[in-house]
């Protein structure tokens, strides 16, 4: 919104006219020809004109929008003559020389990824192209729900082939451990932590587990669950230690543990930011 200012009259000709008047008075050498108050009045006119000039410059600066950095200007919904304020979003300015890509990685990889590491990324818009993403920094904490932390990388976009907001597929190989993957519904919480009901010799056996990570309804756990074990997935709150459990061929309330998964070989998607 435009700021309203009050202007004073500084005399004809503005500061230039007042200065010329002072110069003319200064050339008069005969004492008493020019009254002292006339000279003071001329000097006051110069001072007032300079104040008005400063006010005008400030008003012009308030109506001038300068980009804080060099970049590419996007579209705008603002029409010429529209009233705007400090909170009005005029347009988007993007510096596309470097794009920042954030992506989550499992807790087990912590300490194995360092600043300066380089990963290969593929934009979903062009899967045949690959770009190098250099690790800039790692998040300072691990999410308690997903058991993952965020890695921020930078992609050199000097050729201006990529755009902010694009999604990328990121894959990398890191040595890691294999863990059984179980349905999230099979996890039961007790006074001493999480556990699952494993089916052994036709009976339910309580097996304590430690959650490693969660993703899309599946949970990687650490516990005594050999690959191929059967666990109870539905009705877990009704199961008791030693209760008889029928195998899936006769009942649908049990599910096998998935093949061992390795959280150290993650892949995923991320969105680029300028």
pLDDT along the chain (274 residues), means of 10: 44 62 63 61 78 84 79 86 85 89 87 90 91 94 90 93 90 74 91 91 91 85 88 88 77 50 48 48
In sequence order, what are the residues at sequence separation of 6 or more whose Cβ sits closer than 8 angstroms to the Cβ of residue 72? 93, 94, 95, 96
184 and 167: one domain?
no
Verify that 145 and 203 share a domain, yes or no: no
| Rounded Cα–Cα distance for residues 161 and 152 (Å) | 20
Structure tokens at 39: 């000279």
Q: What b/e sequence results for 98-131 when a residue is b if at least 16 CB atoms lie within 10 Å of its CB, and e otherwise?
A: ebbbebbbbebbeeebeeeeebebbbeeeeeeeb
Residue whose C-alpha is closest to residue 256's, from 208, 210, 196: 196
Those residues whose C-beta lies under 8 Å from the C-beta of residue 154, and which sit 6 or more positions away, are: 98, 99, 100, 101, 133, 134, 136
Judge whether 150 lies within some domain.
yes
- CATH number, domain with residue 186: 2.40.420.20
Decide: pTM greater than 0.75: no
Q: Where are the alpha helices (DSSP H) in the chain?
A: 14-27, 36-62
Question: Is residue 116, in this structure, part of any structural domain at all?
Answer: yes
Residue 228 lies in a domain: yes
Q: Which domain holds residue 224?
A: 180-258
User: In total, how many domains does the chain have?
Assistant: 3
Asked if 161 and 105 sit in the same domain, the reply is yes
For residues 120 and 149, state if they share a domain: yes
**What is the dihedral angle through the alpha carbons of 78, 83, 85, 87, rounded to the nearest 10 degrees?**
-40
β-strand 93-94 against 193-200: which pairing, if any?
Answer: unpaired
Q: What is the dihedral of CA 108, 112, 115, 118, to 10 degrees?
A: -100
């Amino acid at each position: 919104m435009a700021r309203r200012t009050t202007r004073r009259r500084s005399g004809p000709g503005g500061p230039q006219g007042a200065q010329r008047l002072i110069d003319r008075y200064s050339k008069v050498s005969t004492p008493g020809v020019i009254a002292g108050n006339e000279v003071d009045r001329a000097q006051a006119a110069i001072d007032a004109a300079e104040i008005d000039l400063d006010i005008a410059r400030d008003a012009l600066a308030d109506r001038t929008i300068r980009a804080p950095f060099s970049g590419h200007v996007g579209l705008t919904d603002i029409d010429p003559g529209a009233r705007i304020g400090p909170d009005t979003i005029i347009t988007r300015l993007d510096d596309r020389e470097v794009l920042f890509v954030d992506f989550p990685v499992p807790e087990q990889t912590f300490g194995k990824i360092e600043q300066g590491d380089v990963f290969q990324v593929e934009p979903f818009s062009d899967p045949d192209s690959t770009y190098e993403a250099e690790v800039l920094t790692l998040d300072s904490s691990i999410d308690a729900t997903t058991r993952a932390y965020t890695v921020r990388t930078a992609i050199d976009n000097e050729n201006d082939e990529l755009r902010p907001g694009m999604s990328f597929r990121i894959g990398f190989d890191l040595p890691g451990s294999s863990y059984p993957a179980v349905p999230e519904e099979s996890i039961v919480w007790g006074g001493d932590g999480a556990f699952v009901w494993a089916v052994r010799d036709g009976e339910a056996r309580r097996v304590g587990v430690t959650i490693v990570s969660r993703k899309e309804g599946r949970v990687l756990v650490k516990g005594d669950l050999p690959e191929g074990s059967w666990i109870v997935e539905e009705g877990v709150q009704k199961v008791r230690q030693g209760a008889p459990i029928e195998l899936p061929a006769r009942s649908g309330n049990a599910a096998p543990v998935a093949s061992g998964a390795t959280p150290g070989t993650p892949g995923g998607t991320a969105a680029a930011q300028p």
